[in-house]
C-alpha cells in the first residue's frame, strides 16, 4: 500500500503540466483542463514522458477542475475531471502499471470567509464533489499550491469523510516564509498533522534554493512524509514569454540535500520537465533517510502557534459567563461585539490563548460558540480554547475553528471519553483532561491515577501525550484548605511520572475569601514552581502577569530577561469597560466593523470631517500598515481593518458637499486570459480603505476593453494583475496598447509570477509585491494630487 511506502521508499513525483502544455501549443488565456477532452493525446503523451522519466506518480490535469473555475470553459467540470483521470489511466497502462494516479486539487479560486464570501461548507462541498466523482479511479488526492489554511481544512475533511484515499497537502510560501494568508510552516504542520493528512510539503512560488528555510523547518517539525516540488528557479521574461532558466542539473543540485535529509517525495512544479524528473531519478536514493522529530504540545490559530516548551503559557479566562452578569446578558442578547472587545483586551494584556465559553441555560450553545469563535478569529491572532461540557458544541466549534484548537475538556468517566476523544482525533485538537470521575479526589495520588487513565484511553484513539494537558483541579482554600497542597503535589506527580503539561484555573483557590488577588498570585507562584504550564487567569490582573514574567526570568525561560524588561517598561493598560470606550482609531486598528459607523458619526459631531480623516483614520491606517509589514498582523487582520476603514470613510464622505475628497480614480483589472483575481481584490479593498476610488474592470479583461475604459474613466493610475505565467505576455500587450495612446498616468503591476525584473521588461512603470506596497506606492506617486 502507498501509505506503507511513504516513510520507507523515496518516491518520485512528476513535474509541471502547464509548462508542457505551453510547449504543445497552449495559448495565453486558454484553459489547460479543456485539453483533457479536446486534445487527450497531448495529455496522455505528457503523462507517458513523465512515467518514462521515472516518476512514481502522475498528477492528473485536474488542478482547476471545479465548478467555479470551469464555469466559462464550455464544458461541465465533471466531464473534464473524468476525462483527465481516463487519460492518466491510459498512460499508466501503457508505461507503468504500478504508478499512482493523483487527483490534483488546486485552490478553488475564491477566498473563504472572513477574507471572502465562500463558506467552509461551500468549499467542502466543491472538493467533496470532485473526490466522489473519481475516488475509485485514483490512488491519492493532492491539495496543492494552497495559500489558505482554512481551505486546506475544508479539503482534508472532504477527502477523509468521502473516501479512504490518502491525502497529501502542499502549500506555497512567499519569501517572508508565510503563505498569502499569513500561515507559517509550523502552523501549517500543526494543523495539517492534526487533521490527519498522510503527507505534507511545499510546492511552487520559489526554486529549490529559495525554499530551503521552509523545507528545513518542515524537516525539523513534522514526522509526516514530506513532499517537495519547487519551481525551476525564479521566472524571467524571454522573447515576450515568461520562462524558467534553471537547468535540470542545477535543479537536482538544489534538491540533493533534501533527498538525504529525510524528504519522502520529490518532484517539480512550474518550469520543470521530464528531463528534470529523469535527472532526479538518476541520483535519488532508494530509501528515505530516517528522521528524529521532537514532539511538542502546540495549539494554533490560522497564523500563530503557541508551543509549550518551558515558558509559561497564559490562557485568558474572561470570555466565560460564569459569575459575569454583563457577559451573560451580552450572550443572551446576541451582542457578540462585547465578546470581541473582551478578547482584544486580553490579547493586549499579554494572553497567549483565549478561553471561549458560551454555556448558558436557554442558549443554542453550538451555534453561539461558532458565531463567537468566527468573530474572534476575524480580529485576533491568538489560538482559542473551546470550553464546553457539550459534545455537540465542541464538535461544531472544532469543525469551524481555523487552526488547531485547545479543547476543554474531558474527564475520567468512560462515557465522557468515548464522546470527546473521537472529536479530538478527527479535528486534531489538544485536549484538557480533568482529574475527576464522580467527584474530585482529595489526594494527589488519586488524581494521578485518573490522569494516567485518561492518557491511556486517549492512546487507544491514536491521541498522543503531546496532545493532552492535565488539569489537577484547583480547590477553594475557604472550603478545602488542606487539599490546596494536594493540588500542588498532583502537579508535580503528573509532570514527573506522566510527562505531560498541566493546567489550572488559578482564581478558583480564592473564592469566598477577602483580598482574592493576594491569594491568587501567591498560589500561582507555588503552582508554577510545582509544574504548572498553563494558568487560566485574568490577564488584565497586572500583578498576576508580573508574577509570571518574574518566574520566567528566574527559571531562565526568558533569555536575557528581554520580555520582562519590555513588559516592565510598558505603561499599564487602560481597562476598557465596553465597546463605546474604544476610540475610532482603536476600532480601525482592531477591525471592529459592527461599531465603527456609530463611532464615526459620534466623532463627526465634535470634529471637522477632514480632521477625522487626517488625525484619526490615516494615523490608524498607518499603524495597521506598520503592524502588517512587521508581521504583527497578517492578511486576515489587514483586510478586516481595511473593510472597517472603508465603512468609516463612507460616513465621513457623506458629510462632504461634493465627492472631491476621494483620491483617484484608480483603474484595476486582471489581464486577459487570467481568471484569478484574489490578489487584485485584496489590493482593491485595501486601497479603498485609504480613500481611493477604485474602478474594478474585473478578471480576464481584454486589451481593447482596458483601452476603452481608460478613455472613459480618465484614471490617475492603472493597476494590472496576473497570476499565471502564460498571461504575462497579455500584460505586456496591455501595457503596449496603453502606452501607444499614449496614457497620461503611470501603470503598476503585481501578481504571484511578477518580479521587479519582469515588470521592467514588460514596460510597467512600477511594481508592487502586495497590497500594502501598493498603498505606499500610490501614496508616494499621487501625493501631489
pLDDT of amino acid 785: 53
Q: State mean pLDDT over 344-363.
A: 95
Q: Which stretches of 673-727 are DSSP H helices?
A: 678-689, 703-713
Write the DSSP assignment of 188-215 as a string of letters: HHHHHHHHT-SEEEEESSS-TTTTHHHH
Can you say how many angstroms the Cα of residue 359 is from the centroid of all Cα atoms in its chain?
A: 28
Q: What are phi and psi of 217, to 5 degrees?
A: -65, -40
Query: Is 269 marked as binding a ligand?
Result: yes
pLDDT of amino acid 53: 98
Give the C-alpha separation, 119 to 428, whole Å. 21
Q: What percentage of the chain exceeds 70 in pLDDT?
A: 97
Residue 367: CB atoms within 10 Å: 13
Can you say how many angstroms the Cα of residue 612 is from the centroid of all Cα atoms in its chain?
A: 34
pLDDT of amino acid 724: 76
pLDDT of amino acid 486: 96
End-to-end Cα, the chain, rounded Å = 66
Q: Which stretches of 333-364 are DSSP H helices?
A: 337-349
Block residue for cell numbers 480547590: 475
Give the C-alpha separation, 429 to 421, whole Å. 10
Burial of 379 (C-beta count, 10 Å sphere; 0-12/13-18/19+) = buried
pLDDT of amino acid 147: 94
User: Are 172 and 146 within 8 A, CB to CB?
Assistant: yes
pLDDT of amino acid 659: 45
Is the pLDDT score of 573 beyond 60? Answer: no
Is the pLDDT score of 658 beyond 50? Answer: no
Q: State mean pLDDT over 76-81.
A: 96
Write the DSSP assignment of 13-46 as a string of letters: ----SHHHHHHTTPPTT--GGGHHHH-HHHHHHH
183-187, 242-246, 585-589, 765-769, range with greatest mean pLDDT: 183-187
pLDDT of amino acid 639: 85
Is the pLDDT score of 151 beyond 80? Answer: yes
Q: Which residue has the higher pLDDT, 609 or 214?
A: 214
pLDDT digits (tens, 9 = 90+) for 250-284: 999 999 999 999 999 999 999 999 999 999 999 99
Is the pLDDT score of 574 beyond 70? Answer: no
pLDDT of amino acid 727: 83
Is the pLDDT score of 577 beyond 50? Answer: no
Is the pLDDT score of 286 beyond 70? Answer: yes
pLDDT of amino acid 656: 67
pLDDT of amino acid 738: 95
Query: Which pLDDT band holds residue 72 (cuts at 50, 70, 90)?
Result: confident
Is the pLDDT score of 576 beyond 60? Answer: no
CA angle 136, 140, 143 (to 5 degrees): 120
Give the C-alpha separation, 408 to 417, whole Å. 12
Q: Which residues contact 554 (CB under 8 A, 6 or more apart)?
A: none
Q: Which residue has the higher pLDDT, 28 or 454?
A: 454
Is the pLDDT score of 569 beyond 80? Answer: no
* Domains of the chain listed by start with CATH number: 2-283 (3.20.20.330), 297-569 (3.20.20.20), 582-653 (1.10.1240.10), 662-781 (3.40.50.280)
Give the C-alpha separation, 768 to 781, whole Å. 13
pLDDT of amino acid 570: 62
Query: Which pLDDT band holds residue 657 (cuts at 50, 70, 90)?
Result: low
Query: Which pLDDT band holds residue 608 (cuts at 50, 70, 90)?
Result: confident
Q: Which stretches of 212-303 are DSSP H helices?
A: 212-221, 248-261, 274-283
pLDDT of amino acid 751: 87
Residue 754: closest CA among 712, 715, 722, 719: 722
Is the pLDDT score of 445 beyond 90? Answer: yes
Cis before 581? omega within 30: no
CA angle 110, 111, 117 (to 5 degrees): 90
pLDDT of amino acid 434: 98
pLDDT of amino acid 282: 97
pLDDT digits (tens, 9 = 90+) for 163-196: 999 999 999 998 889 998 999 999 999 999 999 9
Can you say how many angstroms the Cα of residue 428 is from the centroid of all Cα atoms in its chain?
A: 15
Give the C-alpha separation, 44 to 749, whole Å. 36
Residue 558: closest CA among 543, 546, 570: 546
Q: Which stretches of 531-561 are DSSP H helices?
A: 542-554
Amino acid at each position: 500500500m502507498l501509505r506503507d511506502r511513504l516513510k520507507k521508499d523515496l518516491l518520485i513525483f512528476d513535474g509541471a503540466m502547464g509548462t508542457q502544455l505551453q510547449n504543445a501549443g497552449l495559448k495565453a488565456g486558454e484553459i489547460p483542463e479543456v485539453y483533457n477532452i479536446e486534445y487527450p493525446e497531448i495529455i496522455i503523451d505528457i503523462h507517458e514522458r513523465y512515467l518514462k522519466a521515472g516518476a512514481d506518480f502522475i498528477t492528473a490535469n485536474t488542478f482547476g477542475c471545479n465548478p467555479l473555475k470551469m464555469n466559462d470553459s464550455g464544458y461541465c467540470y465533471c466531464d473534464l475531471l473524468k476525462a483527465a483521470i481516463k487519460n492518466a489511466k491510459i498512460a499508466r497502462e501503457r508505461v507503468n502499471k504500478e504508478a499512482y494516479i493523483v487527483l490534483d486539487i488546486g485552490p478553488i479560486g475564491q477566498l473563504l470567509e472572513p477574507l471572502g464570501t465562500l463558506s467552509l461548507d461551500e468549499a467542502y462541498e466543491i472538493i467533496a464533489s470532485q473526490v466522489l466523482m473519481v475516488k475509485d479511479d485514483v490512488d491519492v488526492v493532492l491539495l496543492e499550491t494552497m495559500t489558505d489554511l482554512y481551505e486546506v481544512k475544508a479539503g482534508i475533511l472532504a477527502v477523509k469523510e468521502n473516501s479512504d484515499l490518502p491525502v497529501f497537502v502542499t502549500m506555497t510560501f512567499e519569501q517572508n516564509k508565510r503563505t498569502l494568508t499569513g500561515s507559517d510552516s509550523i502552523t501549517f504542520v500543526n494543523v495539517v498533522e492534526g487533521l490527519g493528512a498522510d503527507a505534507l510539503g511545499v510546492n511552487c512560488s520559489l526554486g529549490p534554493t529559495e525554499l530551503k528555510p521552509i523545507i528545513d523547518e518542515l524537516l525539523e517539525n513534522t514526522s509526516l512524509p514530506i513532499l517537495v516540488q519547487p519551481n525551476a528557479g525564479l521566472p524571467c521574461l524571454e522573447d515576450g514569454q515568461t520562462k524558467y532558466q534553471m537547468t535540470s542539473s542545477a535543479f537536482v543540485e538544489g534538491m540533493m540535500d533534501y533527498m538525504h535529509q529525510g524528504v519522502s517525495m520529490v518532484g517539480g512544479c512550474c518550469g520543470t520537465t521530464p528531463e528534470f524528473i529523469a535527472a532526479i531519478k538518476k541520483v535519488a536514493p532508494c530509501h528515505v533517510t530516517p528522521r528524529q522529530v521532537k514532539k511538542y504540545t502546540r495549539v494554533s490559530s490560522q497564523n500563530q502557534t503557541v508551543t509549550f516548551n518551558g515558558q509559561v503559557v497564559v490562557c485568558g479566562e474572561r470570555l466565560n459567563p460564569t459569575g459575569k452578569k454583563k457577559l451573560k446578558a451580552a450572550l443572551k442578547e446576541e451582542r457578540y461585539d462585547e465578546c470581541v472587545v473582551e478578547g482584544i483586551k486580553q490579547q493586549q494584556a499579554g494572553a497567549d490563548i483565549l478561553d471561549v465559553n458560551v454555556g448558558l441555560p436557554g442558549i443554542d450553545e453550538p451555534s453561539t460558540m461558532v458565531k463567537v469563535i468566527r468573530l474572534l478569529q476575524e480580529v485576533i491572532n491568538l489560538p482559542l480554547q473551546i470550553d464546553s461540557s457539550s459534545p455537540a458544541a465542541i464538535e461544531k466549534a472544532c469543525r469551524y475553528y481555523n487552526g488547531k484548537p485547545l479543547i476543554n475538556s474531558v474527564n475520567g468517566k468512560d462515557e465522557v471519553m468515548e464522546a470527546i476523544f473521537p472529536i479530538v482525533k478527527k479535528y486534531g485538537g489538544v485536549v484538557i483532561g480533568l482529574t475527576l470521575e464522580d467527584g474530585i479526589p482529595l489526594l494527589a495520588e488519586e488524581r494521578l491515577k485518573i490522569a494516567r487513565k485518561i492518557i491511556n484511553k486517549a492512546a487507544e484513539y491514536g491521541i498522543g501525550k503531546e496532545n493532552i494537558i492535565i488539569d489537577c483541579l484547583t480547590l477553594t482554600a475557604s472550603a478545602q484548605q488542606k487539599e490546596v497542597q494536594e493540588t500542588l503535589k498532583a502537579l508535580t506527580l503528573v509532570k514527573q511520572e506522566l510527562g505531560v503539561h498541566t493546567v489550572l484555573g488559578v482564581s478558583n483557590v480564592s473564592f469566598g475569601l477577602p483580598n482574592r488577588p493576594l491569594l491568587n498570585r501567591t498560589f500561582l507562584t507555588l503552582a508554577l514552581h510545582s509544574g504548572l504550564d498553563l494558568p487560566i487567569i485574568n490577564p488584565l490582573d497586572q500583578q498576576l502577569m508580573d508574577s509570571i514574567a518574574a518566574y520566567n526570568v528566574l527559571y531562565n525561560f526568558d533569555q536575557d530577561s528581554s520580555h520582562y524588561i519590555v513588559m516592565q517598561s510598558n505603561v499599564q493598560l487602560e481597562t476598557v469597560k465596553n465597546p463605546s470606550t474604544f476610540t475610532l482609531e482603536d476600532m480601525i486598528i482592531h477591525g471592529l466593523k459592527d461599531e465603527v459607523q456609530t463611532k464615526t458619526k459620534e466623532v463627526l459631531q465634535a470634529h471637522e470631517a477632514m480632521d477625522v480623516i487626517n488625525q484619526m483614520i490615516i494615523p490608524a491606517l498607518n499603524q495597521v500598515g506598520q503592524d502588517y509589514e512587521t508581521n504583527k498582523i497578517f492578511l486576515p487582520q489587514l483586510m478586516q481593518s481595511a473593510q472597517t476603514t472603508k465603512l468609516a470613510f463612507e460616513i465621513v464622505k457623506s458629510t462632504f458637499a461634493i465627492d472631491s475628497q476621494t483620491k483617484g480614480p484608480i483603474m484595476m483589472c486582471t489581464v486577459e486570459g487570467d481568471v484569478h483575481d484574489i490578489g487584485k481584490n485584496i489590493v482593491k479593498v485595501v486601497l479603498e480603505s485609504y480613500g481611493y476610488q477604485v474602478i474594478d474592470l474585473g478578471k480576464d479583461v481584454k486589451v481593447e476593453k482596458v483601452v476603452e475604459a481608460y478613455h472613459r474613466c480618465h484614471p490617475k493610475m492603472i493597476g494590472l494583475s496576473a497570476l499565471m505565467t502564460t498571461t504575462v505576455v497579455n500584460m505586456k500587450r496591455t501595457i503596449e496598447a496603453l502606452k501607444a495612446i499614449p496614457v497620461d498616468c503611470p501603470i503598476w503591476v503585481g501578481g504571484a509570477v511578477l518580479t521587479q525584473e519582469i515588470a521592467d521588461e514588460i514596460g510597467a512603470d512600477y511594481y508592487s509585491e502586495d497590497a500594502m506596497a501598493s498603498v505606499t506606492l500610490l501614496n508616494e506617486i499621487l501625493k501631489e494630487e
